[in-house]
Amino acid sequence: MCVCFLEGRGPSLPKIFDCVMDAAQHRTCQNAPHGHLEIVFRDVRVPVSNVILGEGRGFEIAQGRLGPGRIHHCMRMIGVAERSLELMIQRSIERVAFGKRLAEKGMVQEQIALSRIEIEQARLLVLKAAHIIDSLGNKACTKTAKIAVPRMVCNVIDRAIQVHGGKGVCQDTPLALFYAHARTLRIADGPDEVHLEAVAKLELKEPLKAKM
């Protein structure tokens, strides 16, 4: 891992991206505010003075950001879930179908209630994870929140989309974009399966030891 100064200029982010996009083979995908780049470096030489931490230690730096990064994603996702529930409620009050507001229909009320319950559960899990990070440091385990929160927010957004009907799957509301983004978090920072495996191993460790 290193600091790159392109054409002798400082590492201002848009400038780097402009230069890289001109200079390298790349593909992008939209993700606010700048998208994600896929960059191929060929025959790149890095001045020794630009190496951060030490040769071969880039992965260590990348790992170091994971704990705080994961909990940051979780916190933002709680906000996205709150906004989705707010939109779901608004829509259920405004929309009259078959002579009744959606808000008066038991099945829609259930979607609202389940969403509130799941958001509160996830919020408490994130607060616990934040407390563990504060008391034990960045390397402390945030896996349970990392698994639970994106699943919760995907559920809540999905319900909000359903309550919006066709309006939920177009760009008239931010819900479709919310979903696309929230869904990536079951893959980004390690797919669910890897974290589930780690949680299961921890649960199994002592009982297995006792059986040996």
Nearest residue (CB) to ligand FAD, 165 versus 191:
191
For ligand FAD, which is the closer residue by CB, 85 or 182? 182
What's the burial of 95, exposed, middle or buried (CB within 10 Å: 0-12/13-18/19+)?
middle
Q: Which residues contact 76 (CB under 8 A, 6 or more apart)?
A: none
Query: What does each C-alpha distance from 41 to 25, 26, 44, 191 come to in angstroms?
Result: 9, 10, 6, 26
Closest CB 204 distance from ligand FAD, rounded Å: 15
How is residue 55 annotated by DSSP? T
Q: Least distance in Å: CB of 43 to ligand FAD?
A: 23
* CB-nearer residue toward ligand FAD: 116 or 188: 188
Counting every residue written for the chain, the total comes to 212
Q: How far is the CB of 112 from ligand FAD (least distance, A)?
A: 29
Helices (H) and strands (E) in the chain, counts: 7, 4
Q: Which is nearer to ligand FAD, 50 or 63 (CB)?
A: 63
**Minimum distance from residue 185 beta carbon to ligand FAD (Å):** 8
> Left, alpha or beta for 170 (phi > 0: left; psi -120 to 50: alpha)?
beta
Task: Report the nearest approach of ligand FAD to the CB of residue 104 (Å).
Answer: 39
Query: What amino acid is encoded at 93 in this protein?
Result: I
Query: Of the two residues 33 and 166, which places its CB atom closer to ligand FAD in the complex?
Result: 33
Instruction: Please state, in angstroms and rounded to a whole number, the distance separating the CA atoms of residues 91 and 118.
Output: 20
For residues 86 and 157, give the distance between their C-alpha atoms in angstroms, rounded to a whole number: 11
- Shortest Cβ 194–ligand FAD spacing (Å): 5
The two three-digit tokens of residue 210, written as one number:
């006792």
Q: Which residues bind ligand FAD (CB under 6 A)?
A: 62, 184, 187-191, 193-194, 197
> Which is nearer to ligand FAD, 77 or 102 (by Cβ)?
77
